[in-house]
Amino acid sequence: MKISTVRITPIAIQDPPLLNAAGVREPWGLRAIIEVEGSNGEVGLGETYGDAPVLDLLRRVAPVLKGLSAFDVNALLRIVREQSRVGRSSHVEMELAPGFLGSNLVSSVFSAYEVAFMDLQARSLNMPLVELLGGAVRREVPYSAYLFYKWATEVDPEYGPDPYGEAVNPTQIVAQARQMIDTYGFESIKLKAQNSDDTLIFGGKIIDRKTNETVFERQVSRFGVIGVRNL
């Protein structure tokens, strides 16, 4: 089964002013949706970052994929690598997507196409993709909440409404955690953060409301990830 058409659609998702190692997130997070259509009419989906360097490579790869087997992932990787070495623009763009680094360009583009190829494979075989990957280990996967140090949206009119508000100190972070638990019922919470002087990233207490027991009370110095489970 051969690839007949590839469609790439850039999208922008509204983001609040989340603080990170690079500073603060822009009001819009940029992503790209990839649709790989096979000669049988089935369509496989993938997604990745949507910044200019990624979009440029996605678009250069797309026409070369026409006629390629949807099962030939090794050829896909070769094509992505080859296209990454030719036709580069000399214009430098800001890297706006959270987490995107130029050194990850090839893997970001390849992985997006790889997922779309595998999705197309599974749809063409009329089976869940998990079966192609060896079968399901579990039927349900719990989600965790992700806490962020963040500014209030009033910092810039380009940011949209945000129900969580400012979170720049331990008390506000705990309030953010409580709001997420009350709204969505999360039982696992992650915080990855670092303050400006690199000395204290979190301090606070979270109490199990059912037992009134303290399930989290800790201060961590230097950079780190804090997990709070079974609230």
What does the buried/exposed string (b/e) look like for 103-136 if buried means 16 or more CB atoms within 10 Å of the residue's CB? eebeebbbbbbbbbbbbbbbbbeeeeeeeeeeee
Rounded to whole angstroms, the Cα distance separating 197 from 199 reads 6
DSSP H helices, the chain, are 52-61, 73-84, 105-125, 129-132, 170-184
Rounded to whole angstroms, the Cα distance separating 160 from 91 reads 30
- Helix (H) / strand (E) element for 65: namely none
Q: Is 150 a residue whose pLDDT tops 70?
A: yes
**What pLDDT does residue 171 have?**
83
DSSP state of 99: T
Q: Amino acid identity of 192? A: K
Query: Which comes out higher in pLDDT, residue 114 or 16?
Result: 114
Q: Which residue has the tokens 């996967």?
A: 141
What is the mean pLDDT of the segment spanning 67-96? 81
Rounded to whole angstroms, the Cα distance separating 26 from 213 reads 39
Domain spanning 3-132, CATH class: alpha beta
Q: Is 106 a residue whose pLDDT tops 80?
A: yes
Q: Domain map of the chain by residue range?
A: 3-132, 145-229
DSSP H helices, 5-69, are 52-61
What is the mean pLDDT of the segment spanning 35-45? 97
Q: Is 199 a residue whose pLDDT tops 50?
A: no
**What pLDDT does residue 218 have?**
44
What is the mean pLDDT of the segment spanning 40-51? 95
Q: Is 194 a residue whose pLDDT tops 90?
A: no
Q: Is 181 exposed, middle or buried (0-12, 13-18, 19+ CB in 10 A)?
A: middle
Mean of per-residue pLDDT scores for the chain: 81
- Rounded to 10°, the helix 52-61/73-84 angle is 120
**What pLDDT does residue 188 have?**
82
Q: What does pTM read for this prediction? A: 0.76
